[in-house]
Amino acid sequence: MQVQDEDKPYDEINVVPMLDLAYVLLVIFIIMTTASISGIKVNLPKASDAPSLSKPKTKAISVAQDGQVYLDTYPVTMDELRTQLAAAKAANPELPVVIKGDTVVQYGRVMEVMDMLGQIGITQMGLVTQPAAR
């Protein structure tokens, strides 16, 4: 058995505690990042047995309580919305779009968005609702 000489410095550093700390910080960062991505707060209407419309490349259009339109959480005007969706449709002809309209928003505002989607040629669209309380 070899005894460590007291005057001799250590040849290696124990990195296990640093790795443990790094893994804990990584887990905390992942949890906090995914928890903070929630989008625009919209009070959705209730519906019974709404099918899941989540697809990987789905564009989400939200119409907030004050009538402001959002495309994937970014506020846009109707002209900007038309331009961005036309570009996305050119890249993906089967572009699915979901519309989240607040329960108190004017029905005409949601219809403007749906009419504009029809003019662009987007046929895969859906309305997002909350499941009915049971």
The percent of residues above 90 in pLDDT, for the chain, comes to 12
Residue of 88, 70, 87 whose CA lies nearest to 78:
70
10's CB contacts (< 8 A; 6+ apart) are: none
| Average confidence (pLDDT) over 42-63 | 70
Give me the pLDDT at residue 14, please: 81
Q: Rounded distance, CA 89 to CA 85, Å?
A: 6
Q: What confidence tens digit (pLDDT) does each residue in 78-92 have?
A: 999 899 999 988 888
46-131 classified as CATH 3.90.600.10? no
Give me the pLDDT at residue 51, please: 57
Residue of 35, 57, 46, 52 whose CA lies nearest to 101:
46
Tokens 């038309």 identify what position? 82
71's CB contacts (< 8 A; 6+ apart) are: 59, 60, 61, 80, 81, 84, 85
Q: What confidence tens digit (pLDDT) does each residue in 4-33 have?
A: 566 667 677 788 888 899 999 999 888 877
Residue 55 in this model has a pLDDT that exceeds 50: no
Q: Rounded distance, CA 95 to CA 122, Å?
A: 7
Task: List phi, psi (to 5°) of 94.
Answer: -100, 35
The percent of residues above 70 in pLDDT, for the chain, comes to 81
| Average confidence (pLDDT) over 61-79 | 88
Give me the pLDDT at residue 33, please: 75
Structure tokens at 82: 């038309």
48's CB contacts (< 8 A; 6+ apart) are: 131, 132
Q: pLDDT averaged over the chain?
A: 80
Residue 118 in this model has a pLDDT that exceeds 80: yes
